[in-house]
């Protein structure tokens, strides 16, 4: 290889490394892996609960197949794998109240679980000889930045917003170091009316980070302080009550794109797009496609965007260069054409995008980066 071609290849590699794109909307098949630790002596109970769940899941749209495996070395360790036509139908099901009810029989016999989700990139065997498009495989590997993004959202009683904001903004952040491989990198907390939105960025193991945060006395004190204001009751001393609350509050990231290197001059904002019933994922996909389309547009002030979705709640967390008020509201909102958006969201998409941006904008409560990130 000549020096010129080598330099060009290195330049292309650097350019590609700066562009981060993670998404559930690429249309490829999905493999879900659930690691389960069953209480000693509860293996038969777990198996019966799984068989009941399996029969129910078989009729869920988008479900292809599943397998249940038991560890050879440790009979308490089980592995459930399932295949789905794509990620959106799985997310629709796993984030539903139906799923909460389906998995309830498992809780009394399971000590711990860990869920992993993968798009299928390549496979061997009979089906692999077919056209890649027909197999719905991920076309090419994506480039990440080593961060896992996750969020929680919940509502508080109307009239308590100011008190809740004061509580949530006034606490010492937990220790950033979780273990040798996991760090808390950033926590961003916003409110929109009586809705609270908290996003975290983690390097390493998300579940280890969430457990670490939950154990910190300063965090526990804050959670106890806002308990009286919550619209959904919870008892943090009752594991089942806490589990149901945080299951319903989980707001997974469905798309992320980074178009530029980190810039200390950028501002972090959150925009709330209330979706019409049944339109949350379609709305998130529309916004995701627009973020991808403008990622390399130098006119766009948005250098990073992460979309979170569950049911009718869609939140877009953005890092903006140059301030929000001076930017083109269409570029900030990710709305080149208000028409399609009006069909999916309850925001008043009447052409006055400055007004829409004002209505979607969430109030910043706190945004903290770890010195170790």
Tally of structural domains, the chain: 2
Query: Looking at the structure, do residues 75 and 182 belong to the same domain, yes or no?
Result: no
In a domain, 25, yes or no: no
CATH number at residue 276: 3.30.70.100
In a domain, 247, yes or no: yes
Lowest average pLDDT, out of 51-55, 162-166, 367-371, goes to 367-371
Question: What tens digit of pLDDT does each residue of 308-366 get?
Answer: 999 899 999 999 988 888 788 888 988 877 777 888 999 887 778 888 899 999 999 99
Using alpha carbons, list the distances in angstroms from residue 83 to 66, 99, 137, 145. 6, 16, 12, 26
pLDDT at 7 (0 to 100): 47
- Range of the structural domain that residue 88 is part of: 30-122
Query: Looking at the structure, do residues 75 and 154 belong to the same domain, yes or no?
Result: no
Query: Looking at the structure, do residues 112 and 174 belong to the same domain, yes or no?
Result: no
In a domain, 339, yes or no: yes
Query: Looking at the structure, do residues 333 and 276 belong to the same domain, yes or no?
Result: yes
In a domain, 15, yes or no: no
| The pTM of the whole model exceeds 0.85 | yes
In a domain, 129, yes or no: no
Using alpha carbons, list the distances in angstroms from residue 149 to 118, 155, 255, 306, 334. 16, 21, 10, 8, 20
Query: Looking at the structure, do residues 188 and 254 belong to the same domain, yes or no?
Result: yes
Query: Looking at the structure, do residues 179 and 327 belong to the same domain, yes or no?
Result: yes
Element holding 355 (H helix, E strand): helix 353-360
In a domain, 78, yes or no: yes
Query: Looking at the structure, do residues 236 and 344 belong to the same domain, yes or no?
Result: yes
Query: Looking at the structure, do residues 210 and 287 belong to the same domain, yes or no?
Result: yes
Question: What tens digit of pLDDT does each residue of 164-211 get?
Answer: 999 999 877 888 999 999 999 999 999 999 999 999 999 998 888 888
Structure tokens at 23: 């998404």
Query: Looking at the structure, do residues 72 and 193 belong to the same domain, yes or no?
Result: no
Question: What tens digit of pLDDT does each residue of 307-321 get?
Answer: 999 989 999 999 998
């Amino acid at each position: 290889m000549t020096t010129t071609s080598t330099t060009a290849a290195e330049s292309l590699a650097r350019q590609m490394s700066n562009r981060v794109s993670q998404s559930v909307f690429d249309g490829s098949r999905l493999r879900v892996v659930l690691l389960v630790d069953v209480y000693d002596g509860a293996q038969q109970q777990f198996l019966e609960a799984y068989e009941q769940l399996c029969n129910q899941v078989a009729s869920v749209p988008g479900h292809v197949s599943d397998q249940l495996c038991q560890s050879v070395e440790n009979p308490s360790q089980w592995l459930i794998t399932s295949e789905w036509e794509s990620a959106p139908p799985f997310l629709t099901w796993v984030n539903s109240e139906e799923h909460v009810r389906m998995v309830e029989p498992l809780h009394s016999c399971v000590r711990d679980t860990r869920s992993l989700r993968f798009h299928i990139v390549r496979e061997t065997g009979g089906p692999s000889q077919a056209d890649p498009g027909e197999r719905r495989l991920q076309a090419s590997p994506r480039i990440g930045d080593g961060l896992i993004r996750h969020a929680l959202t919940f509502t508080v009683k109307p009239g308590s917003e100011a008190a809740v904001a004061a509580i949530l903004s006034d606490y010492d952040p937990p220790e950033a170091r979780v273990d040798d491989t996991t760090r808390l990198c950033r926590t961003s907390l916003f409110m929109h009316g009586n809705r609270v939105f908290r996003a975290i960025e983690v390097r390493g193991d998300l579940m280890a980070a969430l457990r670490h945060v939950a154990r910190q006395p300063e965090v526990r004190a804050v959670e106890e302080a806002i308990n009286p204001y919550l619209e959904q009751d919870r008892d943090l001393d009752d594991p089942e009550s806490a589990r149901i609350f945080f299951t319903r509050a989980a707001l997974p990231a469905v798309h992320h794109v980074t178009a530029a290197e980190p810039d200390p001059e950028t501002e972090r904002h959150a925009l709330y797009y209330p979706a019409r019933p049944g339109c949350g994922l379609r709305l998130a996909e529309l916004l995701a496609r627009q973020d991808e389309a403008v990622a390399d547009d130098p006119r766009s002030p948005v250098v990073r965007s992460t979309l979170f979705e569950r049911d009718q709640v869609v939140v877009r967390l953005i890092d903006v260069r140059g301030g929000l008020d001076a930017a083109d509201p269409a570029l900030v909102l990710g709305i080149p054409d208000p028409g399609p958006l009006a069909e999916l969201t309850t925001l008043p998409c009447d052409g006055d995008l400055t007004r829409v941006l004002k209505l979607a904008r969430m109030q910043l409560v706190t945004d903290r980066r770890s010195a170790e990130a």
